[in-house]
Amino acid sequence: MKSIKIGNIEVGEGTPVRINCNIGCNDAEGYAGEVEKLRVIKAVGCLPDMMMDLSLVKMPTPLYRVIRQEVGIPVGTVLSYIPFSKEKGLNWEECKDYLLKLCEDGISFVTIHFTAHELLLDIAQKERQIACTSRGGGLCLYDIRKNNRKQNVFYEHIDEIADIAIKYDIVISLGVTFRPAIIFDACDAVHLRETEEQLRICTYLQSRGVKVMVENVGHIALSKLEEHAELLRQFDAPIMPLGPIPTDSAINEDHISSAIGAAFAGYWRCADIINCVTRYEHSHAELDSDVILEAIRAMRVVAHTIDVSRGIQSAMNEDYEISQMRGKQKSCLIDNRSCNRCSSFCPLKLV
């Protein structure tokens, strides 16, 4: 998979796995709390490599601008969120104006759901337990039905979007509308067909000169993830898997479940950017800074583990230095403190 530059970082083949973390507010009252979370994360020095602003409300100073100005890491958002309204759905001119504003504000990447359309929705509603769990994709589907459209509004204007992306050098992230919401829907007809459509759109945008990354996966058992990885490796673009969540029963421990899924996705080479998933992903509506920090730390371990398996030199050097230190000190501890875990039977000292 080719590497691309997102903001000031390289992502993809031959580069370290990157970590993305999401924040966002649903209303004006929640804005200050999200800004405070961001400042706590920065203060403790536990920053991800990139972030997304998933706010559903328009603010005088958008969160993505706060992230860019105060933290200085690449930031993205979803194109359908702010222009959408239940009364009108999505209007292309409003979406275009918003995209241009994002570009002028220095956004690094934008998620766009080109593959949201009624044919796949009809199949999903007939064959799945949960048809669609993507918020951005769901807004596009709502718009199609609300306005009796024959085509997804973004797909209809894909060439205009490509022109803007090239002009402003932003990355288009291919959103996934029908990612499985439960493991038993993974790799079904809808999931596979959407992934194939993403592949076609990815190839087209790249032929136009657009930098592309790809979102996919969702809830998927490890056995099916290994199978689906073969399809994802066909993309000549960085992959950002959502999750993957390999079990639906890790309630209040989703950071562990997603860490397992992300590690396997990285090992099977279908993860170049991994997302921070908190322990309360499926049980709490409100998330505080502590659980977000926990999720970032968990994904730091996952990213490093993947990098070691891929032979990324900086990761290999870090592990080598620690192993050398343990060998010289003849201690499993890295700070050379006295250890009584094995008492006088310590194998490092006996052998």
Q: Does residue 294 contact residue 255 with C-beta atoms inside 8 Å?
A: yes
Q: What is the pLDDT of residues 210-265, one digit of tens each?
A: 999 999 999 999 999 999 999 999 999 999 999 899 999 999 999 999 999 999 99
Cα dist from 149 to 75, 139, 140, 200, whole Å:
31, 13, 10, 22
Q: What is the pLDDT of residues 73-100, one digit of tens each?
A: 999 999 999 999 999 999 999 999 999 9
What is the per-residue pLDDT for 336? 60
| CA–CA gap between residue 113 and residue 274 (Å, rounded) | 19
| CA–CA gap between residue 31 and residue 20 (Å, rounded) | 20
Q: Does residue 199 contact residue 136 with C-beta atoms inside 8 Å?
A: no
Residue 154 has pLDDT above 80, yes or no: yes
What is the per-residue pLDDT for 284? 76
More confident residue, 300 or 344: 300
Residues paired with 93 in a beta bridge:
none
- pLDDT bin (cut points 50, 70, 90) of residue 285 is confident
Please name the residues in contact with 144: beta carbons below 8 A apart, sequence gap of 6 or more.
116, 117, 118, 151, 152, 153
Q: Does residue 177 contact residue 120 with C-beta atoms inside 8 Å?
A: yes
Q: For residue 17, is it left (φ>0), alpha (ψ between -120 and 50) or beta?
A: beta
**pTM to 2 decimals?**
0.91
What is the per-residue pLDDT for 337? 65
| CA–CA gap between residue 207 and residue 168 (Å, rounded) | 17
Residue 258's nearest CA partner among 312, 311, 297, 309 is 297
What domains are defined for the chain? Answer: 4-331 (3.20.20.540)
Q: What is the 3-state secondary structure (H, E, C) of the chain?
A: CCCEEECCEEECCCCCCEEEEEECCCCHHHHHHHHHHHHHHHHCCCCCCEEEECCCCCCCCCHHHHHHHHCCCCEEEECCCCCCECCCECCHHHHHHHHHHHHHCCCCEEEECCCCCHHHHHHHHHHCCCCCCCHHHHHHHHHHHHCCCCCCHHHHCHHHHHHHHHHHCCEEEECCCCCCCCHHHCCCHHHHHHHHHHHHHHHHHHHCCCEEEEEEEEECCHHHHHHHHHHHCCCCCCEEEEEEECCCCCCCCHHHHHHHHHHHHHHCCCCCEEECCCCCCCCCCCCCHHHHHHHHHHHHHHHHHHHHHHCCHHHHHHHHHHHHHHHHHCCCCCCCCCCCCCHHHCHHHHC
Q: Does residue 212 contact residue 1 with C-beta atoms inside 8 Å?
A: no
Which of 66-70, 123-127, 333-337 has the weakest average pLDDT? 333-337
What is the per-residue pLDDT for 96? 97
- pLDDT bin (cut points 50, 70, 90) of residue 350 is confident
